[in-house]
Amino acid sequence: MLGYIPASVSYKQIGEEREGRRGSVALFYMRVKDEPEREIYPPAPYLEAVRRVVEHNGLRRVLGEASDPALHPSRMSVEVRQDHNLAFVRIDEPGADLEALVRSHLRDLSLHRVDCVYVDLPLSHPATAGAAAGLENLGVFFGGIIPEAHPGGGDVLRLQYLNNIEIQAGDVSTASDFGEELLGMIFRQNTLP
CATH number for the domain spanning 21: value is 3.40.630
pLDDT given at position 74:
93
- What is the distance between the alpha carbons of residues 193 and 190, in angstroms, rounded to a whole number? 10
pLDDT given at position 6:
61
Q: Judge whether 1 lies within some domain.
A: no
Task: Quote the pTM value.
Answer: 0.83
Q: Judge whether 162 lies within some domain.
A: yes
State which residues form the domain around 71: 16-189
* pLDDT, tens digit (0-9, with 9 covering 90-100), for 73-97: 999 999 999 988 999 999 999 998 9
Counted domains in the chain: 1
Q: Judge whether 3 lies within some domain.
A: no
- Single out the residue of 118, 111, 135 nearest to residue 84, CA to CA: 118
Q: Judge whether 177 lies within some domain.
A: yes
Q: Judge whether 6 lies within some domain.
A: no
Q: Judge whether 5 lies within some domain.
A: no
Q: Judge whether 7 lies within some domain.
A: no
* pLDDT, tens digit (0-9, with 9 covering 90-100), for 124-163: 999 999 888 889 999 999 998 999 888 888 999 999 999 9
pLDDT given at position 184:
77
Share the mean pLDDT of the chain.
83
